[in-house]
Amino acid sequence: MRLESHGDEASLRSAVSRAYYYVYHLALARAEQNQYRPPKESGSHIDMWRVYSESPVPECIRLGVIGERMFRKRVDADYRATVPRLVEVTQDVLQDAKTFADLLSRLDLRHPKQSSQRR
């Protein structure tokens, strides 16, 4: 059974978090194939999305925007005492995860490249 179908708050929060980490690990694996190395200190998630969003490649930028949006929603789901419209947030995050996976699967394997970030 899918977490979001349970409908209780804990399941919805978990669904948001799991969808985010699914996307994050897809993004990280692709970036590492292109010589990206995450920072050893904290902030690796923010750094990951920066690699995508600062790329000159429009598709990478879109992936970065989706990743950053999902990151913010995951932080809210994991740390805020209340999350307004949690059902809607969960649906949005799940749709973003599907979109992200589809876009990434169609992205040229050479991207993202950390060295080609916009300056």
Q: Are 47 and 31 in contact (CB under 8 A)?
A: no
pTM score of the predicted model: 0.90
What does the DSSP 8-state code read for residue 51?
H
CA distance 74 to 93: 9
Query: From CA 91, how far away is CA 114, in angstroms rounded?
Result: 31
Does pLDDT of 117 surpass 60? no
Pick the closest to residue 73 from 87, 63, 54 (CA basis). 87
Distance CA 66, CA 41 (A): 23
User: pLDDT, tens digit, for every residue of 21-72?
Assistant: 999 999 999 999 999 998 887 778 999 999 999 999 999 999 999 999 999 9
Looking at residue 113, its pLDDT comes to: 87
pLDDT at 1: 43
Residues 6 or more apart whose CB falls under 8 angstroms from that of 101 comprise 22, 23, 26
State pLDDT tens for residues 59-114.
999 999 999 999 999 999 999 999 999 999 999 999 999 999 999 999 999 999 87
Two tokens at 55? 């790329």
In the structure, what pLDDT confidence band is assigned to residue 3 with cuts at 50, 70 and 90? low
* Matching residue, tokens 């809210």: 76
